[in-house]
Amino acid sequence: MSSTRSRRRAGLALAATLPLVAGALAMGIPTAQADAPHGRHGLAGSKPVWATAKADRGATADSADVTLRVYLAGRDAQGLAAYAKAVSDPDSASYGAFLSAKQAKARFGATAQQVAQTRQWLESSGLRVTGANDHYLTVTGDVADAERAFGTQLHNYAKGAKTYHAPTGTASVPASLGGAVLTVTGLDNSPRRARHQDTLPPPGAVFKNAGPFSTYYGSNTNKKLPVAYGTRAPYAVKGYTGKQLRAAYGAGSYNGKGVTVAITDAFASPTIVADAKKYAARNGDAAYKRGQLSQVLPGDYRYTSPDECDASGWYGEETLDVEAVHAVAPAADITYVGASSCTDDDLLDALGKIVDHRLADIVSNSWGDLESNETPDIAAAYDQIFQIGAVEGIGFYFSSGDAGDNVANPLGTGAKQVDTPANSPWVTSVGGTSLAVGKGDKYQWETGWGTLKATLAEDGSSWTAFPGAYTSGAGGGTSKLYAQPFYQRGVVPDSLARANGGTVRQRVEPDIAAVADPNTGFLVGQTQAFPDGSLQYSEYRIGGTSLAAPVIAGVQALAQQARHGVPIGFANPLIYDRYGTGAYHDVTDHPLGRGKDLAVVRVDYANGFDAADGTITSLRSLGKDSSLSAVVGYDDVTGVGTPARGYLDTYKPHHR
């Protein structure tokens, strides 16, 4: 298990890469005015790009069932985006003038009249409203009703080996609604096979690391192993703990007291409380106080799509996130908000709970998908949540991905692309590094995370096919959906901002980074299923940007404490404001100098848990991330860099 980033939203279909929605999504502002018949407003992006004439298989049966979500734009969608920017920009007169959840709803939420008019229109079209909350109406009906309501036909389209229905043109809504509708999802059904289930599967199969290990970087080197890059590489660390990570990222005496960090994932580990407490006790972290770790779970504990979503795999994700946040910010409160499944709709519901009730100051999210699977309709729904969070002083942090530029990603299109929702200009995208913490918990260096793997030859004399094949690395690159946000101007090089061609600068991720390489990763403790059928607690090393995101969330909790508890909110303007200063380690792929490559030796059990079937020894080269490179200055592997010893000092009230 090299990474938990693979816990993706099952059921999200592959699509061709999206074109740039010219300028309109530069800071997440929805484009409601697409081409539409007179008297109607178009909903941009509602026709997926894979619904082509060549793939058209004819009209969908009028009697086929549909389930839709009609998202509400609220009183002032443009004003929401503008205010979210103003309260997040340290150069704005409105900086830090956050609203309570109640105030945000009163100022920007949908009015009772908007809801009533939207409901009346939907019902007059023959659709049935089956649910509603502050963000959307859920409706059901047949295809004929949906076509009548949204002014477009639904056809069946071939997509891979399967067929799904989708609009033949841009969906639209009556202009008389006055812009009350933000977007609609569900007009295409590729694919959302959810089934209700009240119980979740037991923990997943055990994974354990084999030794030998280093206790800190470079502490254990086998002189009998072959040379690599002119020297012998040390064994990988057993797994860094909170003490080492806090030292590496300059935690000092801060512990996150008074700050609440929320974590979103799908489902809920049945052993998380016991695992987290045991891990803290075994690894020197502060014990959890009463109420410090809490969970907000779906109503009646109802979950959907456990098989399609690999529900037990998400247990490890939740465990990593909780234990990493607590390791870095041991006094911060942690609220886990679990989604009913790994689909967009359910993850949006989890995020919605956080902003509707202001459950936290900082939100760590170690999940995502490829940008080519995102459409502007669902992007608008996500961005609205992030904007509401911004006006309430809530910051969202998303892992940037574990497959580099995604060209080699088996779920991708074979083209360079970034991950989503980390691509949103309203969130902080967290990239990844390989981290060397030395003796005495001293920070030595970092490279961008990118791994090449070469196995030890049978005779032990060489590394086969050195330096080996690419396995994984931090996600990053240039978005095709979003234009460049204001805070990246003057920092992100044009070679990256315009990497997709054309004259429009676009959003580049990540924004900041932390340790992610599973070969220099974090020690995690989790209850797992052993081959004899027993469930036992065990510990193993893990990584991925699924680690980097909660580490940065923990660091931000420390930063908020340094501000005397004043919320940071959407952090990107502040993060870029510190670019080029001693607040960051400027990470490069060759921290020891040009041409001085680095690697570690890793030993794995062949069967994943014991030596019964032998072990595999491999060399893992560092700083080799697909076509992406960590260089001096901003880069698309580590963003502006990683927090350094001076980072927290810049958040003290006297700093500005």
86 within domain boundaries:
no
Taking the C-alpha atoms of residue 288 and residue 281, their distance in angstroms, rounded to an integer, is: 9
The SS3 assignment for 469 reads: strand
With bands split at pLDDT 50, 70 and 90, how would you rate the model's confidence at 28?
A: very low
* Confidence tier at 195 by pLDDT (50, 70, 90): very low
The DSSP 8-state label assigned to residue 228 in this structure reads B
Distance CA 470, CA 450 (A): 8
Residue 455 belongs to a domain: yes
Within a domain: 621: yes
Tally Cβ neighbours within 10 Å of residue 622: 30
Tell me, yes or no, whether 604 lies in a domain: yes
**CATH no. for residue 375?**
3.40.50.200
pTM: 0.93
**DSSP SS3 for 303:** strand
Domain count, the chain: 1
In a domain, residue 25? The reply is no
Using a 10 angstrom Cβ sphere, with 0-12 exposed, 13-18 middle and 19 or more buried, the burial of residue 140 is middle
Q: Where are the alpha helices (DSSP H) in 488-645?
A: 494-497, 545-562, 572-577
Residue pLDDT, tens place only, 511-569: 999 999 999 999 999 999 999 999 999 999 999 999 999 999 999 999 999 999 999 99
Q: Are 641 and 585 in contact (CB under 8 A)?
A: yes
Q: What is the mean pLDDT of the chain?
A: 91
Q: Provide the residue range defining the domain that includes 505.
A: 242-655
Domain presence at residue 64: no
Do 539 and 279 form a contact (C-beta atoms < 8 A)? yes
The answer to whether the Cα torsion of 561, 565, 567, 573 is positive or negative is negative
HSE, CB side, 13 Å, CA atoms: give it for residue 433: 33
* Digit-coded pLDDT (tens) for 333-389: 999 999 999 999 999 999 999 999 999 999 999 999 999 888 888 899 999 999 999
Sheet holding 181-185, edge to edge: 128-132, 136-142, 65-72, 181-185
| Token output for 297 | 């779970």
Asked if the structure places residue 437 within a domain, the reply is yes
Which residues are CB-neighbours of 48 under 8 A, at least 6 positions away?
15, 166, 188, 190, 375
3-state secondary structure of 229: coil
Domain contains 140: no
* Of 135, 136, 132, 152, the residue nearest 144 (C-alpha): 152
* Tens digit of each residue's pLDDT (9 = 90 or more) over 282-329: 999 999 999 999 999 998 778 988 888 899 999 999 999 999 999 999
